[in-house]
Amino acid sequence: MTIKTKVSICLPTYKRPDLLIGCIESCLAQTHTNIEIVIGDDSPDEQTERLIAARYGNDKRIAYRRNTPALGQSRNVASLFARATGDKILLIHDDDYLAGHCIERLLAQWERHPEIQAAFGNQYEVDHDGSVDHASSQRMNHAYHRTPAAAGLQALPGRTGIVQMFPNNGWLADAALVKQISYDEQHAVCCDYVFGVRLCLAARGVCYIDEHVSYYRKTDVSVSQSTRNTTSASSLAAWSFLQGLTLPPALEPARKLAMRRFVPIVVSLYARNDKARAGLHLALGNLHAYRFGLSPRLYYHLLMIWKSARRAKRRTPALAFDADEAGVEVPPVAPVLDVAPMVDVTRTRLP
């Protein structure tokens, strides 16, 4: 089955031709060779188009299309899914890349568990030059619940999406299911997270392997870095989506676990935008997100809320974002007891 299975690698890109080439080369170097690479280019200039034509113009495995006008992230990815002709679909962003055995190892899980519809593994975190930061990689995967103990067929497929165990890219899934779910423009600002949740909820089975199958690049030109001052907006959208999601009782613990990550960031967002009452209500109504008062972060946020209330009396609120909403730890007002490092909340990628 695995040798004959055609895999469509969907690759959205925007103004990163040099990094795109590295991503394409990692796709072409896959040990599983029955692939097509479907590229959707939202770049405003012709640089990427010319580069692809010069370098890969005769490669029938590559299907390139420049979007004029640009589609935006969610519509671009949805169009890639629609264009894919393979039995399976893999999504990879242009500034990330795949390990050589990625597709082979993920595809092998269908041999072990024929009922599954999606599979994923760990991500390495690398800098602009591709140097792996092993310590950061371990922290990132652990933060997203990718641990040796969790490997294998997931008992509750929907949980993997809700708690963000399912990665933003580097996954492999049945093409029919991917096209059925697709990307939703309504949730464009947090479309990666919404897609992952909906896909896992709909899947008959999801498998996680405790192996590194892709590389997540953290640089000044990566999407997550270039949008770090606006990630609070995506966090708020993801929190709102999760809050309104209808779930079976078995998945309510997963929602609660996910809220532990979202709530403090949304509280901070409210406080910094002079919505003290909303922030206080959310914080006190979700004390589990602050370890029931044991987290110094609660008292830092209460201080922020108090200052927000004072500011609101003196001026009209103006929308503001800063590092705290971007998922970066802020200095506590008391000695740190045991505050886990935070990572990007939604992993949303916006050009």
* 199-252 pLDDT tens trace: 999 999 999 999 999 999 986 654 444 444 333 468 888 999 999 999 999 999
Q: Look at residues 98, 120, 93 and name the one whose alpha carbon lies nearest to residue 109.
A: 120
* 259-272 pLDDT tens trace: 999 999 999 988 98
CA 110 to chain centre: 23
Section 121-131 average pLDDT: 95
Contact 119, 110 (CB under 8 A): yes
Count the neighbouring beta carbons within 10 Å of the beta carbon of residue 111: 9
Which pLDDT belongs to residue 340?
38
Section 169-184 average pLDDT: 97
Residue 157 scores a pLDDT above 60: yes
Which pLDDT belongs to residue 323?
43
pTM of the model: 0.84
Which pLDDT belongs to residue 236?
87
Which pLDDT belongs to residue 219?
67
Q: How confident is the model at residue 116 (pLDDT cuts 50, 70, 90)?
A: very high
Domain extent listing, the chain: 7-226, 229-312
Classify domain 7-226 at the CATH topology level: Spore Coat Polysaccharide Biosynthesis Protein SpsA; Chain A (3.90.550)
Distance between CA 73 and CA 42 in Å, rounded? 8
Token pair, residue 122, equals 């760990």
Token pair, residue 114, equals 């024929």
* 53-77 pLDDT tens trace: 999 999 999 999 999 999 999 999 9
Residue 108 scores a pLDDT above 50: yes
Count the neighbouring beta carbons within 10 Å of the beta carbon of residue 266: 25
Residue 344 scores a pLDDT above 80: no
Which pLDDT belongs to residue 321?
47
Which pLDDT belongs to residue 333?
37
Residue 338 scores a pLDDT above 60: no
Q: Look at residues 266, 278, 265 and name the one whose alpha carbon lies nearest to residue 312.
A: 278
Contact 255, 245 (CB under 8 A): yes
Q: Look at residues 65, 93, 95 and name the one whose alpha carbon lies nearest to residue 79.
A: 65
Mean of the per-residue pLDDT values of the chain: 87
Which pLDDT belongs to residue 220?
62
Which pLDDT belongs to residue 293?
87
Which pLDDT belongs to residue 281?
93
